[in-house]
A and B are shown apart, each in its own frame.
Chain A
Amino acid sequence: MQANDVFFLLMGLSALAFYMGRGRSLEIAGELRGIRNLHSLPNYYGYYTALWCGLPALLLLCLWIIVDDPVIIAVVMDSLPGEVLPSNSVEHTLLANKINNLAVGVLPSAGQSEVLISAAQQLRDLTQLSRWGMAATVLCLALIGLAWGRSFVAAKFRARQRVEKVVQYALFACACLAIFTTLGIVLSVLFESLQFFKSVPVDDFVLGLEWSPQTAIRADQVGSSGSFGAVPLFVGTLLVSVVAMCIAVPVGLMSAIYLAEYANRSVRAYAKPALEILAGIPTVVYGFFAALTVAPYLRDLGESFGLSVSSESALAAGAVMGVMIIPFISSLADDVITAVPQAMRDGSLAMGATHSETVRRVVIPAALPGIVAGIMLAVSRAIGETMIVVMASGMAANLTFNPLDSVTTVTVQIVTLLTGDQEFDSPKTLAAFALGLMLFIVTLILNIVALQVVKRFREQYE
């Protein structure tokens, strides 16, 4: 019997428990002549019973699944004769894996030693036993819970409050899950980065001007000294983001102002969804649009002016990224502009201001903190954007502020460091974590600033 069979059985039992708890309360209500004499509605008694039936058993099930395998392996390893047991822990793990593979049948048993084959057999038996044991205990617990929960059902019993308490804990648990996942990711990135900083000093990484992450695999390899100066990457990221924002901020803001202040209802009804469709285009599509259409066009255009534009340029990537961000900015700005109370506009119009004066002098200043916050969020999106730059801005880590040159960004380098076959402990791979950490810190700061600005915005009107 597999864990998921047990799970579905458990769900079935809980449903049954619901009807039993509910039925019991209805019975009681019948005796008392009317549901109004119960403390809670019958459904609450049902939920209460179902929770008692399902929750403890579910917890036990999870615990069992987590503990199951390690315990069995430990038991099997313990029962091995002393002379086959290796001394160091790596070999120990390898042996355990081997037994496991034998037991599952991935590894053919032909040619293996007697000891191992019998160990595998023992493993199989124990696993089987554990499965049945799990099913039996979990379902037993569920039945006990059911009976226990149902025994509480009484006219004065406050099932409503109890159930709500449980719901509250469940919500809390979900919130914790979200927070701990993020925390887990951050910590793992942090630890790997520390690993990286053991082989490359922090200041070399943060202040170094040269990026060429090829390290020598063999001692006699040439030309692969491995230098991990992240400055070119950050400059590249900055360059592409600045180009993107130069396009996205004015266009996004203007279109938001048009939509929020000037467009009549029918234009708005079509223009707004159209803009939002832009936001729905996968970034990879923008990416090949940038690489195959915009970049060559810019190069040809540059040539006709006598400029040398690289065929993969920061300008092309930034421009397309800017277009990608337009709907993001315009929809956020549109929201804050429409949130400015009509009373502000009326006040200004009644003073004899024209519509555009009202927009410029009252509406935009009132919405400005919200707009700024939106722009900050857009910037952190631009910094984190990967697909477009991978395709359109190149791999060469040039330290340049010329948008016509090819540059590379932090995200692009993370992708190239981690794609393909990699060792997981070379500085080259670990550099990706360090870059990720830096990126995380930068966007975190931007987000905090944005949130702070938004908070100020809330205090604006009353």
Chain B
Amino acid sequence: MQKTATLDADDMADSSIKSSVKVTNANPLDITDEHVTVGSYEVNNAKMSIKNVNVYYGDKQAIFDVSVDIGKNEVIAMIGPSGCGKSTFLRALNRMNDTVDGCRVEGDIRMDGQDLYSPKLDVVELRARVGMVFQKPNPFPKSIYDNVAYGPKIHGLADTRVDLDEMVERSLRRASLWDEVKDRLYQAGTGLSGGQQQRLCIARAIAVSPEVILMDEPCSALDPIATARIEELIEELSQNFTIAIVTHSMQQAARVSQRTAYFHLGKLIEVNPTEQVFTMPEHALTESYITGRFG
């Protein structure tokens, strides 16, 4: 079980981050079954709060007892060696794991206090509130306009065509794609460049005004320039949205996020303000990873 010794919250009011007591393992690179996440994994103004979550694929456990809060309008980065369960964890947050045969999620995940895994919850509505951007840009084989209008159409957000046009334009502008595509809204979305496609996917996701956006390595298929544009975009979006981003690039985590969570073999090792994680990590494993000893 995880225990936190919370400092006086008022002291930390600015950063709205609580701190924890440092836990020292006997052998720093050994994670035992009783592993405890170190760092400030709880926050005051949590948008989502994840408590003791386990995820299984059939008999195989992929996520072990993970607890972490995601603050309102915060960008939290998730890093870790591949196969450590970052995607699995992310997909638990909008119940995309429901679509995977044999995948089972245990534990407590709440958004604004509402239990996401309660039988009463409407998954369709949840996914409209928690948007997702995938590793490989996956625009639908439709026109750019229809790609962005997809969400508003299925959720009935626009009453008139004018409303819809407006929504599409606003979303494309917020995804800083409008200027590039305004003359070819009715051409196929698949005809755009990789970076444009990814921004189209972001526009598609924000068209339904979600509260949280999950991004699973959104830049790993893109070139450095397209990556830079997406990073700028994330920065802008963070003013209105809560963003959880999985990345394999530590520089990217350092550039875009306020807090960083380090996963290792399905366990959450450390969560701390990004600056701290990259300058003086609390856990020996985190240190080994960011200094490139494995990954």
Contact = CB atoms under 8 A, between A and B. Distances in A.
A346 B134 contact: yes
A240 B128 CA distance: 48
Given A343-B136, A361-B150, A351 B127 contact: yes
Interface string A232-259: 0000000000000000000000000000
A462 B94 CA distance: 28
Interface stretch (A7-15, A154-162, A198-206, A352-360): A352-360
A350 B96 contact: yes
Given A357-B154, A361-B150, A462-B190, A352 B140 contact: no
Contacts of B96: 346, 349-350
Nearest to B94: A350
A362 B189 CA distance: 13
Contacts of A34: none
B136 A351 contact: no
Interface stretch (B30-38, B65-73, B201-209, B224-232): B201-209
B134 A343 contact: yes
A352 B190 contact: no
B264 to A, nearest CB: 26
B125 interface: yes
A365 interface: yes
Interface string A28-59: 00000000000000000000000000000000
Contacts of B204: 347, 351
Contacts of A352: 124-128, 151, 154-155, 208
B268 interface: no
B141 interface: yes
Contacts of A345: 99
B141 A366 contact: yes
A348 B140 contact: yes
B3 to A, nearest CB: 35
A86 B279 CA distance: 111
A347 to B, nearest CB: 4
B9 to A, nearest CB: 35
Given A346-B96, A346-B99, A353 B154 contact: yes
B190 A354 contact: no
Contacts of A362: 140
Contacts of B141: 344, 365-366, 460-461
A350 B142 contact: no
Contacts of B124: 352-354
A345 B126 CA distance: 17
A365 B142 CA distance: 8
B48 interface: no
The prevalent SS among residues of A at the interface is: helix
A341 interface: yes
A351 B138 contact: no
Contacts of B205: 350-351
B273 interface: no
Contacts of A350: 94, 96, 127, 131-132, 134, 205
- Interface residue range, chain B: 20 to 34
A350 B128 CA distance: 8
A343 B127 contact: no
Contacts of B190: 460-462
A462 B134 CA distance: 16
A354 B154 CA distance: 9
A336 B128 CA distance: 29
A49 to B, nearest CB: 53
Contacts of A366: 140-141
Interface string A357-376: 10001100110000000000
A348 B142 contact: no
Contacts of B155: 352
Given A352-B151, A352-B155, A353-B154, A347 B127 contact: no
B127 A349 contact: yes
B134 A351 contact: no
Contacts of B142: 365
Nearest to A358: B154
Contacts of B136: 343
A348 B151 CA distance: 8
Contact of B154 (A343, A344, A347, A351): A351
Interface string B146-161: 0000110011000000
Contacts of A361: 150, 154
Interface string B184-209: 00000010000000000100110010
Interface string B115-131: 00000000011111001
A366 B94 CA distance: 25
Interface in A310-352: 341, 343-352
Most buried by A among B125, B138, B201: B138
Given A460-B190, A462-B190, A349 B138 contact: no
Given A361-B150, A460-B190, A462-B190, A347 B131 contact: no
A343 B138 contact: yes
A269 to B, nearest CB: 14
B140 A347 contact: yes
Interface in A360-394: 361-362, 365-366
Which of B94, B96, B140 has the most chain A CB atoms closer than 10 A to its own CB? B140
A351 B99 contact: no
A353 B155 CA distance: 8
Nearest to B99: A349
A343 B150 CA distance: 16
A351 B201 contact: no
Contacts of A349: 96, 99, 127
Interface string B87-112: 00000001010010100000000000
A110 B136 CA distance: 89
A441 B97 CA distance: 52
Contacts of B154: 351-353, 357, 361
B208 A351 contact: yes
A350 B218 CA distance: 15
A373 to B, nearest CB: 16
For A357, A362, A462, the residue with the greatest tally of chain B CB atoms inside 10 Å of its CB is: A462
16 contacts: A265-B101, A343-B134, A346-B138, A348-B140, A349-B96, A350-B127, A350-B134, A352-B127, A352-B155, A354-B124, A357-B154, A362-B140, A365-B140, A366-B141, A460-B141, A461-B190
Give 3 closest A-B pairs by Cβ, nearest first.
Answer: A352-B128, A352-B127, A343-B138
Interface of A: 265, 341, 343-354, 357, 361-362, 365-366, 460-462
Given A343-B138, A347-B134, 18 more contacts: A341-B138, A343-B134, A344-B140, A347-B201, A348-B140, A349-B99, A349-B127, A350-B205, A351-B127, A351-B128, A351-B151, A351-B154, A351-B204, A351-B208, A352-B124, A353-B124, A461-B190, A462-B190
